[in-house]
Structure 1
Amino acid sequence: MSWVKKISYHIALLLLVQTALGCNNKQPQNQEPARSVAVVDKPRAVNDNSVGDEELFRNCLTKFKNAVKAQNKAGIKSVFNFPLQTLPQWANDEIKNSTIRPQDGMIKQTEFLTYFNDIFTKDATKLIVASKEDDLSEIEKSTSENYYITLQQVTDKGSTLFELQKQYMQDNGQETSFGFVFGKVRGTYKIISYYRPWPLK
């Protein structure tokens, strides 16, 4: 092969290689080169449905205890739902065999301060603030107790009742107790009943 032909051959070979490389590096029409994208975590909105009943209850309980500790009557009143049930807890056989009428224990918001000192005695105030996990209980949604079934009627359907109950010895040596039942009303936990061994009204 003459040197002219050799040069022509090599030039043709180089052109073929460059053409092939050029085809591989071409971007498809109307397509932008790839860009790196920073991933940013967006905050998610929290709605009431994503917060469990127990968490809402504990928020209310903390607010209640803080208000009692500070002796803030307005703050205490704000965690109650009215009308408030104040009869002593009744058993199923009592509701069947006696003249217990739940409506007799209801007090209005305007009456609350009238009974305030009877509910928040010196002992009760101290015990509410010092209450612990052992003083709390969750009421089964399927409870058969008429007392709790009656309270469920004012709460959001399918929500859970919680209870704070304290038993203690009085200065006179007699044992007594009191309790508060918390229920979810229109998405917010409130105290829906207060009870003790004798009627408040």
Structure 2
Amino acid sequence: MKRLTVYARFVIIASLIPVMYACNGSEAGNRKRDSATVAISNDTVAARYATKDTGTDEQQFRLFFEKFKSAAKANGKTQLVQMFNFPLQTLPQWTNDELKSNPVDVKSGLITVNEFPQYYGDIFTRDALKLIPLSKEDDLSEIDKTTAENYYLTLKVITDKGSTLYELEKQYTEDNGKETSFGFVFGRVNGTYKVISYFRPWPLK
């Protein structure tokens, strides 16, 4: 097959520009979900990291998240504890629909920094220490800033105004064949990203 001449390449690229813009507009419209979370696009990440600005919420979060994964891989308890904000919310995630029939005692799931050591092994289980460092883009979500879900609104109260919440959720099968999951929500508190909640299908406390 003959190679395209420079002029032919230019004509083809020029003709594709309107199509590319149309596709991007459509993709952006479809990316936003009706639910509280929005998947983080690999293309968006690459574009943001291509700039010299390292101060965006997402970039700050990702720097923190890499440290979090490294600390989990090393089971660095001291370092991990410093990455949590206390009191830490540990109730299973609840939805607005569930609140209508079953009010949630939010304070019942909070644990203090002094209580944390007794729950450390329940949070950082063998499976968690293995799975957290292996986390990929598909495991991460950005919480929609316009969400009306009470669970996230409760967490946002302690975070910096206008900042973004991010969530890591890991679903896996235990050795006994039972499917389960765990997750963390991250928020910026006083200028620094922290773990502000831990959740699993059953209460921790």
Residue pairs, 1:61-80, within 5 angstroms? 61-80=65-84
Q: Deviations over 1:152-194 (max 9, x none)?
A: 0110011000001100011111110000000000110000000
Identity value in percent? 62
Q: Look up the match of 2:202.
A: 198
CA distance in 2, matches of 1:96, 1:84: 24
1:137 aligns with 2:141: yes
Deviation at 1:111, TM superposition (A): 0.7
Partner Cα separation in structure 1 for residue 145 and residue 61 of structure 2: 15
Which amino acid counterpart does residue 128 of structure 1 have in structure 2? I
| Aligned counterparts of 1:96 and 1:124: Cα–Cα separation in 2 | 32
After superposition, what is the alpha-carbon deviation per residue over 1:93-148, rounded to whole angstroms, capped at 9, x for unaligned?
A: 22221131111100000111100000011111100011111100100000011100
Cα offset, 1:72, TM superposition:
0.9
Counterpart position of 2:22: none
Counterpart in 2 of 1:55?
59
1:183 aligns with 2:165: no
Instruction: Determine the structure 2 residue equivalent to 1:126.
Output: 130
Q: Which runs of 4+ in 1 moved over 3 A?
A: none
How far apart, CA to CA, are the structure 1 residues paired with 2:168 and 2:155? 15
Deviations 1:44-86 (A, max 9, x none): xxxxx96000011011111111111111100000110000000
Secondary structure of the residue aligned to 2:115 is helix
**Greater Cα radius of gyration, structure 1 or 2:** 1
Partner of residue 173, structure 2: 169
Asked if the contact 2:54–2:60 (Cα under 8 Å) also holds between the matched residues in 1, the reply is: no
Secondary structure of 2:194's partner? Answer: strand
1:147 aligned onto 2:151: yes
Alignment correspondent of 1:97: 101
Q: TM-score by structure 1 length?
A: 0.74
- In structure 2, the gaps of 5 or more residues are 1-52
Q: Report the Cα offset of residue 91 of structure 1.
A: 0.8
Q: How many equivalent residue pairs?
A: 153
Which TM-score applies when normalising by structure 2?
A: 0.73
